[in-house]
Amino acid sequence: MSSQPVDHSLQDPPKLPFEPLIQRNAVITEQPWVRWLLTALALVFLAGFLLLPLVAVFVEALRNGVGTYLDAVRDPDAIAAIELTLTVAAIAVPLNTLFGICAAWAVTKHTFRGKQFLITLIDLPFSVSPVVSGLIYVLIFGAQGWLGPWMSEHDFKVIFAIPGIVLATVFVTFPFVARELIPLMQEQGTDDEQAALSLGATGWQTFMRVTLPNIKWGLLYGVLLCNARAMGEFGAVSVVSGHIRGMTNTMPLHVEILYNEYNFAAAFAVASLLAMLALVTLVLKSFLEWRLGSELAATRKH
Amino acid sequence: MQIQIRGIQKTFGSFQALTGVDLDIESGELIALLGPSGSGKTTLLRTIAGLEFADSGRILFGNEDTAGIPVRERRVGFVFQHYALFKHMTVFDNVAFGLQVRKASERPAKDAIRAKVLELLDLVQLSGLDKRYPSQLSGGQKQRVALARALAIEPRVLLLDEPFGALDAKVRKDLRRWLRGLHDKTGYTTIFVTHDQEEALELADRVVVMNRGRIEQVGSTDEVYERPATPFVFDFLGGVNVLPGIARGREIDVVGVSAPLPCGTCDHTGAVDIYVRPGDLRVADAAQPSFEAEILAVQRTGPIVRWDIRARALDQQLEVEIPHLHHDVKQHVPGQTVRLRLNQYSVFARGAKGDARPKALPDTVLIGRERERGRLG
């Protein structure tokens, strides 16, 4: 006989041994001093490389007093730079939000040939150096570029003008919204949309009433990151802008010019504005992550 | 709404999901599409809904060909396996959705929508929960909201994809019974997909057993269970023991016992497989033709006692199910020998299992059932 006969019918189920609540995290097996050392190292690194520079920006900006600080910020060139930065962001961010939603929609809700290629293409701006992306536009639209002669004939300037700066910014910040939405929409699947369609909704109604509410927090998060980058972009913009004071200087470029002129207080004053933008972004980002986190958790609960 | 399905074919890449499916569904019927995963049952359901498109074949709602009618205009109530409730809307707004997205000219007045939604929530026994969000509901409640939402558009056919798949056993049973009641009350033509044979048999008027993209058998629940057309259907609807045997004319030899091939006038010669459900192996009286088996293990699950046995003549392990009243605790212990007989069984020509349809053996199955259901089957 190969198998041992067993009679389970009359036995009580075996009693589980009393299990104590988990007292220790099983993953942490290191000695306490190792743990303290690693934590301390991480904190020192963070303080030295992130916190210190941030503090330095504000300290340097206010070194010669609040008056100098305000003067630097109120300087007409500085105001022009701030205006230009805001204008560029106001154009680039909505454009990329729209593109990002379209791209994520196409990638996640449909199947088509070349989808993988599209996903790779979306990532291109992340993998190309910003300076190169700026140069591309110079090559196309510059005075010696492909379209340069035709454009100067028609008196339309792209390079060393606002359109070039917008183009470069759009290119560099393109992936942020799409990258944020694609995994989120992939996880949500297409059941909700199919349900809406089967209930008689049109494509547009489905998008506005079902898809958009489902992705709103992720979308905001992507827009926020996109905006931070749009305002802070240096490399690509630097190549196409021409650094004309009061005309084509964005805030990061303005900071550089002031710094190169040894006008440290003014440079740091404008830089502090960018740093504040970064802080606001961080706070909003944490808030959204908190919202997004609970939303994602709720999705998984279903 | 009467539905006719004609020669539906569907491939996904190189995978044949549906290979020429024909099916007629009567108005007001409750039909189960039953099969293992990959059998094409969900694809068929989604094709009827218009969420998938067949490569060839036609689906008619009444006399209307649905080809070219998008899902949006088919007026089908589709209930998804994971409900697909709109998380950011209240229960009320979920149910009202199908009415609110209608064109202004066809949309009922606000009061009418409200009355309709509340009436539906009453029907699915969720009155008072209209202001809740889906995340505040249990699985069974969500399922009923999804059902109410689908019913709101007064669908021509109600399609349910694994409606109880994500629920626990107790809720599933209750909801099943409740859904049957709801169907009897509302009379919607309903098709549901399931891989749970018990669910299909309990709930449906007719069961469509599917395998590998084709229909194996269509029949009432009694028909598919008691007269399975193919070995697959026999196997899929409950447990089975397959015994090798030899047919000689009107008789078969199986486990050293001679038994009739009892289909009236049929005869067959050659190797056959005898399909017996675990409950149809019974303890034999001394006078009955029987075979000897050794009990290997005994396990009691609720009202049924399950034995693992080894038939001496076959050296093959078999499964037996005995009502626990018939189980003698002292006698029937592992190591003991019992004498068993075949009660009801089906005979298929050898080699019929697997992808080949059963080779046409004249009157394949149909072995007389000893009508003794009254005496504890």
pLDDT band at A28, cuts 50/70/90?
Answer: low
Name the strands in the sheet holding B206-211, side by side, starting at the edge strand that comes first in the sequence: B76-79, B157-161, B190-194, B30-34, B206-211, B214-220
Tell me which chain A residues have a C-beta less than 8 angstroms from the C-beta of B101.
196, 199-202, 205, 209
A199·B98 Cβ contact <8 A = yes
Share the mean pLDDT of chain B: 86
Q: Does B86 lie at the interface with A, CB-CB under 8 angstroms?
A: yes
Tell me which chain A residues have a C-beta less than 8 angstroms from the C-beta of B77.
198
Tell me which chain A residues have a C-beta less than 8 angstroms from the C-beta of B297.
3, 5-8
Amino acid at A43: L
pLDDT of amino acid B316: 85
By DSSP bridging, strand B3-12 and strand B56-61 are antiparallel
Q: Are B21 and B11 in contact, with CB atoms under 8 Å apart?
A: no
Characterise B264 by phi-psi region: left (phi > 0), alpha (psi -120 to 50), beta (else).
left
**If you average pLDDT over residues A144-164, what whole number do you get?**
80
Q: Does B335 lie at the interface with A, CB-CB under 8 angstroms?
A: yes
- pLDDT over threshold 70, residue B351: no
A5·B152 Cβ contact <8 A = no
> Which residues, 6+ apart, have CB-to-CB distance to B374 below 8 Å?
none
- pTM of the complete model beyond 0.80: no
Q: Does B133 lie at the interface with A, CB-CB under 8 angstroms?
A: no
State how far residue A92 is from chain B, nearest Cα, in angstroms.
Answer: 30
Work out the end-to-end distance of chain A between its first and last CA atoms, rounded to an integer number of angstroms. 49
Rg (CA), chain B: 25
How many whole angstroms separate alpha carbon B80 and alpha carbon B124? 17
CA–chain centroid gap for A254, Å, is 23
Q: pLDDT digits over A100-129, tens only? A: 999 999 898 888 888 889 889 888 888 889
The closest alpha carbon to A266, from A88, A72, A75, A77, belongs to A72
B84·A194 Cβ contact <8 A = yes
Measured between CB atoms, which of A7, A202, A205 is closest to B298? A7
pLDDT of amino acid A84: 92
Q: pLDDT digits over B154-165, tens only? A: 999 999 999 888
B295·A5 Cβ contact <8 A = yes
Q: Does B142 lie at the interface with A, CB-CB under 8 angstroms?
A: yes
State how far residue B88 is from chain A, nearest Cα, in angstroms.
Answer: 7
State how far residue A100 is from chain B, nearest Cα, in angstroms.
Answer: 22
Residue A269: both structure tokens together: 């004053």
Q: Does B115 lie at the interface with A, CB-CB under 8 angstroms?
A: no
**If you average pLDDT over residues A211-224, what whole number do you get?**
89
- How many other CB atoms are there within 10 angstroms of residue A45's CB atom? 10
Measured between CB atoms, which of B85, B101, B333 is closest to A200? B101
Long-range contacts of B260-268 (CB under 8 A, 24+ apart): B260/B367, B260/B368, B261/B347, B261/B367, B262/B366, B262/B367, B262/B368, B263/B363, B263/B364, B263/B365, B263/B366, B263/B367, B264/B363, B264/B366, B265/B363, B266/B361, B266/B362, B266/B363, B267/B362, B268/B347, B268/B349, B268/B361, B268/B362
Report the range of poorest mean pLDDT among B139-148, B226-235, B367-376: B367-376
A302·B82 Cβ contact <8 A = yes
* Interhelix angle A115-127/A76-109, nearest 10 degrees: 160
Measured between CB atoms, which of A7, A200, A302 is closest to B333? A7
State how far residue A205 is from chain B, nearest Cα, in angstroms.
Answer: 7
Angle at B78 between CA A101 and CA B180, to 5 degrees: 150
Q: Are A50 and A282 in contact, with CB atoms under 8 Å apart?
A: no
- Residue A210: closest CA among chain B residues belongs to which residue? B86
How many whole angstroms separate alpha carbon B345 and alpha carbon B355? 21
Q: Does B304 lie at the interface with A, CB-CB under 8 angstroms?
A: no
Tell me which chain A residues have a C-beta less than 8 angstroms from the C-beta of B84.
191-192, 194-195
**If you average pLDDT over residues A153-170, what whole number do you get?**
85
Q: Does B271 lie at the interface with A, CB-CB under 8 angstroms?
A: no
Measured between CB atoms, which of B49, B102, B298 is closest to A200? B102
Owner of token pair 């798949």: B165
Long-range contacts of B322-325 (CB under 8 A, 24+ apart): B322/B282, B322/B283, B323/B376, B324/B300, B325/B376
A302·B101 Cβ contact <8 A = no
A214·B98 Cβ contact <8 A = no
Q: Does B88 lie at the interface with A, CB-CB under 8 angstroms?
A: yes
How many whole angstroms separate alpha carbon B343 and alpha carbon B329? 23
pLDDT of amino acid A17: 55
State how far residue A36 is from chain B, nearest Cα, in angstroms.
Answer: 41
**If you average pLDDT over residues B118-147, what whole number do you get?**
92
Share of chain B above pLDDT 70, in %: 92
Secondary element (H or E) of residue B235: helix B231-236
State how far residue A200 is from chain B, nearest Cα, in angstroms.
Answer: 4
Q: Tell me which architecture the domain covering A65-297 has in CATH.
A: Orthogonal Bundle (1.10)
How many whole angstroms separate alpha carbon B47 and alpha carbon B210? 15
Measured between CB atoms, which of B71, B87, B149 is closest to A197? B71
- pLDDT over threshold 80, residue A25: no
State how far residue A33 is from chain B, nearest Cα, in angstroms.
Answer: 44
Q: Are B132 and B100 in contact, with CB atoms under 8 Å apart?
A: no
Q: DSSP letters of B68-130?
A: T--HHHH-EEEE-TT----TTS-HHHHHHHHHHTS-TTTPPPHHHHHHHHHHHHHHTT-TT-T
- Residue A296: closest CA among chain B residues belongs to which residue? B87
- Mutate which: B48, B79, B80, vs A, most A CBs within 10 A: B80
Q: Are A177 and A222 in contact, with CB atoms under 8 Å apart?
A: yes
Q: Are B30 and B53 in contact, with CB atoms under 8 Å apart?
A: no
* Interhelix angle B110-123/B139-152, nearest 10 degrees: 140
How many whole angstroms separate alpha carbon A154 and alpha carbon B342? 96
By DSSP bridging, strand B241-249 and strand B214-220 are unpaired
Whole-Å CA distances, B325 to B304, B374, B375: 9, 14, 12
**Coil, helix or strand for A9?**
coil
pLDDT of amino acid A83: 92
- Mutate which: B88, B147, B332, B337, vs A, most A CBs within 10 A: B88
Secondary element (H or E) of residue B152: helix B139-152
pLDDT of amino acid B262: 58
Q: Does B163 lie at the interface with A, CB-CB under 8 angstroms?
A: no
Q: Does B296 lie at the interface with A, CB-CB under 8 angstroms?
A: yes
pLDDT of amino acid B144: 92
Q: pLDDT digits over A226-271, tens only? A: 999 999 899 898 988 888 888 888 999 999 999 999 988 889 999 9
How many whole angstroms separate alpha carbon B305 and alpha carbon B332? 10
- How many other CB atoms are there within 10 angstroms of residue A262's CB atom? 7
pLDDT of amino acid A4: 52
Q: Does B134 lie at the interface with A, CB-CB under 8 angstroms?
A: yes
Q: Does B160 lie at the interface with A, CB-CB under 8 angstroms?
A: no
Q: DSSP letters of A120-133?
A: HHHHHHHHS-HHHH
> Which residues, 6+ apart, have CB-to-CB distance to B52 below 8 Å?
B10, B43, B46
